Structure 1
Amino acid sequence: MPRLASKIEAILYLKAQPLTVAEIAEFAECDRETAAEGLLELMTDYAHRDSALEVAETPNGYTLQLRETFHHLVQTLVPADLGLGALRTLAAIALRGPISQTELVELRGSGAYQHVPELVELGFVRKRRQSDGRSYWLQVTNKFHQYFQMNQLPQEFDQHVKAKP
């Protein structure tokens, strides 16, 4: 059976988004205290490795991410050519996410229907069907955070999201 720290590493990698200790404990099938100990062990392991990755605490939880010294590679190796409308739609998803596609269209207008597939294809947005099957939940991915080098968007950007191109 793998070490708990290795299991947590796999969970953070597969989820590719910040997770709380409670969420990690749920996925690891252990209590919160044990998950916190495993997370601390994993963070210590990464702190002593010469690795491009690190486990970091963000305002939304813990995430496996690229170390800051390698962020320049993201723009070089994963360039994004997004128009203003798609960028505003992406900002709306980042600020409000997870957000239903229906809410997004109400906020951004029908142009969001063209932006979402592009953002999903670029890997910035994850789309999953809601339980009632009527719409989709949209949220930004770890790639979004790595590419734009941010863990949380400042609230002053919220006013720009509502502007339609």
Structure 2
Amino acid sequence: MSDRLATKIEAILYLKGQPLSIAAIAEYAGCSKAKAQDALLELVADYAHRDSALEVVETPEGYSLQLRTTFQELMQNLIPPELGVGALRTLAAIALKGPISQTELVDLRGSGAYQQVQELVELGYIRKRRQADGRSYWLQVTEKFHQYFQIDRLPQLNGSTEN
């Protein structure tokens, strides 16, 4: 019944990258709190029975899609130590949608993106330049991002078919 709603809620939890209340989930999904609750319970049960690295958990702040604790050590080995998961998700959003306005990014990732953008600029992974109307900034990844993550070696991203 709510396969599509549960999938939509999964996408919302992934994109927001932070715990969300049932009310917030329902608002983003465009449904009632009761329908959001039912679909969320379905999603929690689905992840509980899946052989997946991810899980949906309830925290004091709300529901969150996160890496299972058994994979925390792997995450620490793979993610640059200076980047947290939230900043990494924000960086991924900028890389996939860039150039993107900071306003659009905050709509997509939440207000925590402001701090993450500042951190990513300081680390040299993104560049920020004021829009022509002066109201917001354009954000895009830098050459350091491409070098660090070796994006030029991923043929599906740059259109090349060579290895």
Alpha carbons 2:22, 2:37 under 8 Å: kept: yes
**Tell me, which stretches of 5 or more residues in structure 2 are unaligned?**
84-109, 127-134, 137-163
| Residue of structure 1 equivalent to 2:67 | 66
TM-score between both structures, scaled by the size of structure 1: 0.51
Alignment of 1:39-58 (within 5 A): 39-58=40-59
Secondary structure of 1:3's counterpart equals helix
Residues 15 and 120 of structure 1, relative CA distance in 2, 3 Å threshold: farther
Instruction: Please report how far the alpha carbon of residue 98 of structure 1 lies from its aligned counterpart in structure 2 after TM superposition.
Output: 5.5
Code of the residue aligned with 1:23 in structure 2: it is A
Counterpart-to-counterpart distance in 1, 2:124 and 2:62: 23
TM-score between both structures, scaled by the size of structure 2: 0.52
Code of the residue aligned with 2:42 in structure 1: it is E
| Residue of structure 2 equivalent to 1:10 | 11
Code of the residue aligned with 2:121 in structure 1: it is P
Counterpart-to-counterpart distance in 1, 2:124 and 2:17: 14
| Residue of structure 1 equivalent to 2:121 | 117
The one-character-per-residue Cα deviations of 1:33-84 (angstroms, maximum 9, x if unpaired) are 11000000000000000100000111211111000000111110013248xx
Instruction: Please report how far the alpha carbon of residue 2 of structure 1 lies from its aligned counterpart in structure 2 after TM superposition.
Output: 5.6
Code of the residue aligned with 1:13 in structure 2: it is Y
Runs (4+) off by over 4 Å: 119-122
Code of the residue aligned with 2:39 in structure 1: it is G
Residues 63 and 120 of structure 1, relative CA distance in 2, 3 Å threshold: farther
Higher RCO (CA-CA < 8 Å; seq separation 6+): 1
**Tell me, which stretches of 5 or more residues in structure 1 are unaligned?**
83-96, 105-113, 123-132, 135-165
Code of the residue aligned with 1:24 in structure 2: it is I
Q: Please tell me whether residue 31 in structure 1 is matched to residue 35 in structure 2.
A: no
Residues 53 and 116 of structure 1, relative CA distance in 2, 3 Å threshold: closer
Alpha carbons 2:3, 2:39 under 8 Å: kept: no
Residues 24 and 73 of structure 1, relative CA distance in 2, 3 Å threshold: same
Instruction: Please report how far the alpha carbon of residue 117 of structure 1 lies from its aligned counterpart in structure 2 after TM superposition.
Output: 2.6
Residues 115 and 51 of structure 1, relative CA distance in 2, 3 Å threshold: closer
Counterpart-to-counterpart distance in 1, 2:124 and 2:32: 34
Number of residue pairs the alignment of both structures matches: 103
Q: CA RMSD in A?
A: 3.4
